[in-house]
Amino acid sequence: MKKAMIPALLAALFTLTAPASAGGFDPSDAAEFSVLPGWRTESGTHMAAIVVDLAPGWKTYWRSPGEAGIPPSFDWDRSSNLEAVALHWPVPEVFSLNGLRTIGYVNRLILPIELSPSKPGAPIALRTRMELGLCNEICIPMQVTLKADLSADPAAKDRGIMAALASGPRTARDGGVRDVRCDVAPISDGLRLTTRIDMPRLGRDEVAVVELKDRSIWVSEAMTERGNSSLVAEADLVPVSAAPFMLDRSEVTITILSGGEAVEIRGCNAG
C-alpha cells in the first residue's frame, strides 16, 4: 500500500513512525492517511477532516478507546492562524476480544475537524501531529504528521465530511433523555460514580462510556444495568493523587452506544 493518499487540491504530506516489529512489518501496510480540505463555514470556521483508511482486519480507536485500547491524541501547536480545534467524532463500534472491550473504527474513519482561525478570512496552515493506535493481531502505537494549507476561498461542501458529521451521536434531547442523576461515593483511591439515566432503550446491548474533562483521571469501564425506563452505569474514577477528590458533575460526559447508534449526555445533576 502507498504511505499516503494526497488530495490534489491539498497536497497534504505526512510521515509515519512506529516501533519496528518482528518479521519486518511495515506500519504503513496497516493504514493510509490523508486530509480532506473542506470549506469555510458561514460562522467563519473551517470544516476539514482527517481520513484514516485501514487495511483489512485493522482497526483504530475512538476518543475513549476502552481499557485495552490506545487513546488518540493531537498536537496542533505547529499550525498557524489557528485559534481552536473541535473534533466531531462519528459513532464508533464496540468490539470484544478475550473478554476485553475496545471502541473504535474499521475500514475507514473520516474525522471532521472544525478549525477556528485566529484571523478570520485568512488561510490556515495546518500542521498537526497525531498519535494513535492500530490493532489487528498485534497493536502498534503510531505517530502521523499531517501538513495542509487550507484556503479561505469559498468551496463546495464535501459529501464525505457531511456524511461523517451526520453519523455523530444524538444529543440527550434528541435521544429522549428525560433526566440524568449522578451519585458520587469515595473509594480508597478516588471516587465511584453511579449515573441513573432516564431514557428509552437505545438498542439490545447498551454500552455506557463515562468521560471527564480532565483526561489525567483514569476512568474504569462502566458496568451497566437496564431497568424498564432507566439505565444505571457505574464507573470508578482514579486521579493521579490516588485519593478522593471534588468532582464537577457538569464536566461529566456519558455516551450510550448500541448497534451503531449513540446518545451523548453532557453533565448530570446531583443524585
In this predicted structure, what is the pLDDT of residue 2? 31
pTM: 0.88
pLDDT tens across 78-127, in order? 999 999 999 999 999 999 877 788 999 999 999 999 999 999 999 999 99
From the candidate CATH numbers 3.30.420.40, 3.40.50.300, 2.30.30.240, 2.60.40.1250, the one assigned to the domain spanning 13-166: 2.60.40.1250
In this predicted structure, what is the pLDDT of residue 230? 94
CA angle 63, 4, 55 (to 5 degrees): 65
Distance separating alpha carbons of residues 32 and 144, to the nearest angstrom: 10
| Residue among 171, 148, 155 at smallest CA distance from 51 | 148
Helices (H), the chain: 159-166
* Strand order across the 207-212 sheet: 170-171, 261-266, 252-258, 207-212
In this predicted structure, what is the pLDDT of residue 29? 85
Q: Which residue ranges of the chain lie beneath pLDDT 50?
A: 1-22
* Residue 197 three-state SS: strand
| Residue among 70, 7, 13 at smallest CA distance from 38 | 7
In this predicted structure, what is the pLDDT of residue 23? 52
In this predicted structure, what is the pLDDT of residue 67? 82
Amino acid identity of 110? I
Distance separating alpha carbons of residues 142 and 34, to the nearest angstrom: 15
Distance separating alpha carbons of residues 80 and 76, to the nearest angstrom: 9
Under CATH, what is the fold of the domain 170-270?
Immunoglobulin-like (2.60.40)
Q: Is the dihedral of CA 47, 110, 164, 214 positive or negative?
A: negative
pLDDT tens across 42-63, in order? 999 999 999 999 999 999 999 9
| Residue among 89, 125, 97, 131 at smallest CA distance from 253 | 89
Residue 73 bridge partners (DSSP): 131
Q: Which three cell numbers stand for residue 233?
A: 452505569
Residues of each domain in the chain carrying CATH 2.60.40.1250: 13-166
Q: Which three cell numbers stand for residue 201?
A: 432503550
Q: Which three cell numbers stand for residue 13?
A: 504530506
